[in-house]
Amino acid sequence: MGTLVAVVLLWVTPFIVALHIGERKGREGVAFALGFCLGWLGVLIIALTTPTDAARRTHALRNGFACPFCQEPVRTGATVCPHCQRDLPGDVR
Ligand SMILES: [Zn+2]
């Protein structure tokens, strides 16, 4: 019984946590390998990686909208696009 608890705590749990973090950062493959091979150390490493551009864009679009001029993600309520510096019309904000 003690062995099962140890396996869950030291291997299964960090593996799931690593996958969860990796999914949010768009790095599922790396997270899978790190969580599987390194356990909690893998979780730490994946937590320190930066998200991919695609994951960052998906996150930004979830919390805002795409600029009508350059299609980059912009936060809701922004009046100027941070990417192309153009004024955003009121109807897209
Ligand atoms: Zn723009």
Ligand 1 midpoint to CA 53 (Å) = 16
Residue 8 DSSP symbol: I
Place of tokens 């140890």: 6
- pTM more than 0.85: no
Q: Are 45 and 38 in contact (CB under 8 A)?
A: yes
Domain boundaries along the sequence of the chain: 1-50, 52-93
Please give the distance, rounded to the nearest whole angstrom, from the Cα atom of residue 56 to the centre of ligand 1.
16
Residue type, 91: D
Sign of the alpha-carbon torsion through 75, 78, 83, 89: positive
**pLDDT value at position 37?**
94
92 confidence band (pLDDT: 50, 70, 90): low
pLDDT tens for residues 3-49? 999 888 888 999 999 999 999 999 999 999 999 999 999 999 999 99
86 CA distance to ligand 1 middle (Å): 6
